[in-house]
Amino acid sequence: MNTTRQSVKSKFDENAASYDHQRRKLIPCFDDFYSIPVSIINSKTKTPSVLDIGAGTGLFSFFLKEKYPDAHLTLIDLSEKMIDVSKERFSHYQDIRYIVADYTDYRFEEKFDIIISSLSIHHLSDEEKRELYDKIFFLLNEDGMFINADQVLGNTPFIESLYKNDWKNKIEKSGLSKQEIEAANDRTTLDKMATLKDQLGWLKESGFQDVDCIYKYFNFVILFGRKN
């Protein structure tokens, strides 16, 4: 595991227990951020196979599971402590597979109908993002879809400063403690965000059809692509 990935693992290990409690306060658009991607997920079967990459505590998968109770989920994340929270969240389900590993180099032996990700891919370098999008395209079944709820870099330094200032102002008024805010700011040092334009282009280059940003709130975005 490279140094950057180890740093990400360590930071999220440290914050696993409080991660979910802070989500609504750290994501100003929380309700849209999770409800909109789930609303556009459309499966031809009641039992779709779903891969959640960088699954963390399983929050995105939890909302998807509400829509498709019989979905077969595979959750993969670097942080064992985050996966432990996922296991607790889904303790009453028997059809969920958990993998503690680096999804960029993990070798999956099956393909999936739906691949989702939330607030994870922005920790990768640009080249790693492009390689991952190729991998995701390969791992999807025909007519499969990929949805990435993530953060992007502003198109210009000025726009990026607007994004950062808006987020900073909102979390300072969110009710989080000073220590929680400092920890959140510390985690942003691990970010390697790319612009929305670049990522839409990379998805198209990987072969995805109907590529779009279906939602945007400052730097919080929901990206969509389909394997035709």
Q: Each residue of 112-122: pLDDT tens digit?
A: 999 999 999 99
CATH topology assigned to domain 3-226: Rossmann fold (3.40.50)
pLDDT band (50, 70, 90) for residue 94: confident
Model confidence at 12, pLDDT cuts 50, 70, 90, reads confident
Written as six digits, the tokens of 106 are 């993990």
Mean pLDDT value of segment 168-188:
91
pLDDT band at 80; cut points 50, 70, 90: very high
Q: How many percent of the chain have pLDDT more than 70? A: 96
Q: Secondary structure of the chain: what % helix, strand, coil (to 5)?
A: 45, 25, 30
Provide mean pLDDT across the span 205-227: 98
Torsion sign over Cα 180, 166, 148, 122: negative
Q: At residue 1, does pLDDT exceed 70?
A: no
Examine the pLDDT at 22 and tell me if it is beyond 90. Answer: no
Q: What is the pTM of this model?
A: 0.94
pLDDT over 90 percentage in the chain? 83
Note the pLDDT tens digit of each residue in 30-66: 999 999 999 999 999 999 999 999 999 999 999 999 9
Q: Would you tell me the crossing angle of helices 178-187 and 19-26 to the nearest 10 degrees?
A: 80
Is the pLDDT confidence value at 177 over 70? yes
Q: In the prediction, which pLDDT does 147 show? A: 98
Answer whether 135's CB lies under 8 Å from 220's CB: no
Average confidence (pLDDT) over 128-138: 98
Average pLDDT, the chain: 94
Query: Count of CB atoms within 10 A of residue 65's CB?
Result: 20
Domain spans in the chain, listed from the N-terminal domain onward: 3-226
Decide: 147 and 37 in contact? Cβ < 8 Å: yes
